[in-house]
Amino acid sequence: MSVVVIGGANVDLKARSAAPVVAGTSNPGTTCLSSGGVARNIAENLARLGTATTLVTAVGNDPLGDDILATTAAAGVDVSLVRRRETTTGTYTAVQSELPKAGLA
């Protein structure tokens, strides 16, 4: 059996502060960049489970699009039907912060 997955692919940027965020100043933390998008994620997981999987999506003709194609193909997904567009690849950004410690009254 083979599966064709149609939908979105983008780059996920996850940022996490190392301490509670202080507005109006620099906040130390870490970031992580990874391939994402619901359809791309589903295609990757199906391929890792041994299902022949083809992804149909569009990515930008830029380094982020190159990275999505490379990481998705490396997971075993057929990316031959992915279209390159003369635009930038979509991104999703999540900013996670440490919560202030609850004080005792």
CATH of the domain at 35: 3.40.1190.30
> What is the token pair recorded at 91?
């991104």
Distance CA 49, CA 68 (A): 19
Evaluate if residue 63 carries a pLDDT over 90.
yes
Distance CA 91, CA 75 (A): 20
Evaluate if residue 103 carries a pLDDT over 90.
no
Phi and psi, residue 34, nearest 5°: -150, 160
**What integer pLDDT is reported at residue 97 of this predicted model?**
83
Percent of the chain having pLDDT more than 90? 82
**What integer pLDDT is reported at residue 104 of this predicted model?**
53
Query: How confident is residue 22, by pLDDT bands cut at 50, 70 and 90?
Result: confident
**Mean pLDDT over residues 54-59, rounded?**
98
Flag whether 11 is in a domain.
Answer: yes
What domain count does the chain have? Answer: 1
* Coil vs helix vs strand at 74: helix
Flag whether 24 is in a domain.
Answer: no
